[in-house]
Amino acid sequence: MGKGMRLYFVSILGGTLCGSPLTAQVLLQGGDYRQDFDSITSGLPSGWSVWTNATRTSLGAEASFETNTTSWAATSAQFRNCASVTNNTGLLDTNAAAATQHTFTNRVLAVRQGTSFGDPGAAFVLRLANTLGWSNLQFSADMMMLDEEGRETIWTVDYGLGLTPSSFISLGTCTNTGTPGTIQRPTFTLGPDANNQPQVVTLRIAALDPATGTGSRDTCGLDNVRLAGQSAASASVPLDIKRTDSGVELTWPDPEFSLQAASAPWGEYTNVPGAGSPHSHPLNGGQMFFRLVK
Ligand SMILES: [Ca+2]
Ligand SMILES: [Ca+2]
């Protein structure tokens, strides 16, 4: 993670909410936010919480999270710590035994809804302390099918302002469907009211409607959440690009900013080693995207 992609966390007022300590919110600073949930055996990451009874006008009730590694097919209705279907070693093993799943280091924040648990109303919540200096915030995540059963859950991505919003702006939906290992990647851009916002911004991935179909409910997993935007600081520094005989030349006026590159707009951006302005980049590969970070 480059120096411009640090994430800072801030403590809030130390209160409690529904019996669970609410310890922190995420503060965007200097780059984008990513969450891989690979450390959830120690608890939910800062800024994250899980809820039931979520509606379009309420966060609902904060729920507990089972930190112990739990198999995809376990039938207990709960928020749980599951293995990804793709281990960090790259192995794709949708038939892995429970004991093998427990050894996977690639974890996901998962939920198994039940007749009286979270259907509808299950929600994954991320709170940002504020978005001061940020605009054009883009959210994306992997929604992963872990255990496929008869019902299908429609997940709504929405956000509201404040710690406990009573209204939410819906960005869209994604339906977790397909065979185990199928990944949906909802990607949405937050509205202008999420730009440069001094209040807490509360983002959700919520089952606001009853699951469709009949029978048991799937186990769904959330992973690789990304939140990226444009910061006022970096927006003020132009990155110019021009064609040369051998490729392109990138120039920028502030040496405190470093150049990063990625093969897709969403990244993953990595530092371009030794790059200073002007930087010559050959045209010898696929498309590339550049940005400046500080
Ligand atoms: Ca993960
Ligand atoms: Ca299903």
**pLDDT tens-digit readout, 203-243:** 999 999 999 999 999 999 999 999 999 887 655 677 888 88
CA distance 81 to 117: 17
The alpha carbon of 175 and the centre of ligand 2 are apart by a number of angstroms equal to 9
User: Are 197 and 137 within 8 A, CB to CB?
Assistant: no
The alpha carbon of 160 and the centre of ligand 2 are apart by a number of angstroms equal to 29
Counting ligands in written order, which one lies closest to the CA of residue 177? 2
Average pLDDT for 86-108: 90
Domains defined for the chain, CATH in brackets: 3-231 (2.60.120.200), 237-293 (no CATH)
Q: Which residues surround ligand 1, an ion (CB under 5 A)?
A: 36-38, 106, 223
Question: Which residue is listed with tokens 């255990």?
Answer: 147
Counting ligands in written order, which one lies closest to the CA of residue 145? 2
Cα dist from 96 to 7, 178, 180, whole Å: 34, 18, 11
Give 138-152 pLDDT, tens digit per residue.
Answer: 999 999 999 999 999
Q: Residue 288's pLDDT is what?
A: 82
Q: Residue 283's pLDDT is what?
A: 80
Q: How many CB atoms lie within 10 A of CB 247?
A: 12
The alpha carbon of 141 and the centre of ligand 2 are apart by a number of angstroms equal to 19
Cα dist from 170 to 14, 153, 203, 238, whole Å: 30, 16, 10, 33
What spatial distance separates the first Cα and last Cα of the chain, rounded to whole Å?
A: 12
CA distance 58 to 74: 29
Cα dist from 82 to 58, 103, 110, 153, whole Å: 27, 10, 6, 18
The alpha carbon of 189 and the centre of ligand 1 are apart by a number of angstroms equal to 23
Counting ligands in written order, which one lies closest to the CA of residue 213? 2
Give 161-197 pLDDT, tens digit per residue.
Answer: 999 999 999 999 999 889 999 999 999 999 999 999 9
Cβ burial of 168 (10 Å; 0-12, 13-18, 19+) is: buried
CA distance 111 to 122: 8
Reply yes or no on whether the pLDDT at 38 is more than 50. yes
The alpha carbon of 37 and the centre of ligand 1 are apart by a number of angstroms equal to 5
Question: Which residue is listed with tokens 């900013």?
Answer: 257
Supply the pTM of this predicted model.
Answer: 0.75
Cβ burial of 182 (10 Å; 0-12, 13-18, 19+) is: middle
The alpha carbon of 165 and the centre of ligand 1 are apart by a number of angstroms equal to 28
Compare 177 and 110 and report the one with higher pLDDT. 110
The alpha carbon of 240 and the centre of ligand 1 are apart by a number of angstroms equal to 36
The alpha carbon of 93 and the centre of ligand 2 are apart by a number of angstroms equal to 19
Cα dist from 132 to 114, 139, 169, whole Å: 39, 17, 19
Q: Residue 30's pLDDT is what?
A: 60
Q: Is 110 left (phi over 0), alpha (psi -120 to 50) or beta?
A: beta
CA distance 51 to 79: 9
Lowest mean pLDDT among 133-142, 216-225, 274-283: 274-283
The alpha carbon of 106 and the centre of ligand 1 are apart by a number of angstroms equal to 4
Q: Facing residues of 111 across strands?
A: 79, 220
